[in-house]
Amino acid sequence: MAVLNEKPLLILGGGLMGLAIAHELAQRGKRVEVLSRSRLEAAGFVAAGMLAPHAEGLEGDLLNLGQISLQRHSAWIKNIESNSNMSCGLKTSGIVVPFDSQTDCESYPTYKYGEKLNTNELRKEVPGLSLKWKLGLLFKQDGQIDNRRLLMRALEKACVELGVHFQEGVEVVEIIQDLNKFTGVKIKDINGNITHLESKEAVLCCGAWSKQIFKELPIFPVKGQMLSIQGPKQILKRIVFGPGIYLVPREDGLIIVGATSEIEAGFQGGLTPKGQSELQKGIESLIPELNQLPHMERWWGFRPCTPDEGPLLGMSSINGLWLATGHYRNGVLLAAITAELIGKSICSIPITNEESSLLFKFRWNRF
């Protein structure tokens, strides 16, 4: 049970990780306060929502972390759905990765986890696929979640139901420490007023912006532009994951098309003709007839990237300041395991050897 006169644990950043961890901690009886500069700039509201450790061709420890998180997704989502009384749109739709040569297919990092598709089978799984693709891998275990329209909102509602307190529109401008112990933050409200908020513990979840308030973190933004097109229901059964382009069909026929990868853009927001035409060409290279469908929306966001593309998890160099950031292009996939690892660590719940080894592998100072 929460101790009432104790200062709440602070969650710095109310994007996907911030909400996932706030939810986890509130369920475990912690008093939690989320400090969020802008919910709408969160990559959690931008992502395509693929749960794709295999289709993304992840390798090594990151593949292992992704596979463990994927296994936990269904229980994690059920919990959020039950606390929010909302659906999150989780679907094990399977993902098809097409190839134009046997060599490319066999050298794909996750080749052994996929079902091989010959030309006929490939066309049956993905009707209308361009003839340039000769064979494919079907990863039936991969799936998707409707993060933009459902998951983020369900998480917010579940947090509120569990008593999480939110401050929206405030920016954390400084982390305060005393003899290497976290003691609080300075925050700036929309009127520019700066106040000091005391606390013994916080989790830094500022995504791509994490380095701005904690300089030693090796995190940088990788911008991604997206668009969506509206098809009839069931126009596409599987997600199609091509080189530099993917198509994610939602239940109602909406198809999310992603995404550019623009490291040189830094934090420069906005749509660009180059980025949008890249997406258009990408659709053409996969299923040309989809370019006839009406466009619905276009948007962009920033992935939080690290030098090895893996997240930073666990205690930082400041005692009491936890890290859950740097999830790059797999944050939706990794949210389930991140919330569990950080939640258990903060609440001193015994963890398995496997969990402890994951925390070690993804420690912030591994580089």
Ligand X SMILES: Cc1cc2nc3c(=O)[nH]c(=O)nc-3n(C[C@H](O)[C@H](O)[C@H](O)COP(=O)(O)OP(=O)(O)OC[C@H]3O[C@@H](n4cnc5c(N)ncnc54)[C@H](O)[C@@H]3O)c2cc1C
Interface positions with ligand X (CB under 6 A): 12-18, 35-39, 41-44, 46-50, 171-172, 205-209, 213, 224, 226, 258-259, 301-304, 325, 327-333
Q: Which two tokens stand for residue 350?
A: 């015994």
Yes or no: say if 214 and 365 are a contact pair by the CB < 8 Å rule.
no
Which residues contact residue 127 at a Cβ distance below 8 angstroms, ignoring those fewer than 6 apart? none
Task: Quote the least distance from Cβ 361 to ligand X, whole Å.
Answer: 18
Pick 17 or 235: Cβ nearer ligand X: 17
Pick 98 or 304: Cβ nearer ligand X: 304
Q: C-alpha distances in angstroms, 200 versus 3, 184, 185?
A: 13, 7, 10
Pick 231 or 301: Cβ nearer ligand X: 301
Task: Quote the least distance from Cβ 38 to ligand X, whole Å.
Answer: 4
H or E segment at 344? helix 331-346
How many Cα atoms within 13 Å fall on the side-chain side of residue 361? 16
Yes or no: say if 54 and 110 are a contact pair by the CB < 8 Å rule.
yes
| Rounded CA separation 328/348 (Å) | 27
Q: Between 16-27 and 60-84, two packed helices, what is the crossing angle to 10 degrees?
A: 60
Q: Is 73 exposed, middle or buried (0-12, 13-18, 19+ CB in 10 A)?
A: buried
Name the residue number minimizing CB distance to ligand X: 15
Task: Quote the least distance from Cβ 207 to ligand X, whole Å.
Answer: 2
Task: Quote the least distance from Cβ 14 to ligand X, whole Å.
Answer: 5
Task: Quote the least distance from Cβ 238 to ligand X, whole Å.
Answer: 15
H or E segment at 96? strand 95-99
Q: Which two tokens stand for residue 229?
A: 């097109």
Task: Quote the least distance from Cβ 129 to ligand X, whole Å.
Answer: 20
Pick 135 or 145: Cβ nearer ligand X: 145
Q: β-strand 202-204 against 321-325: which pairing, if any? A: parallel
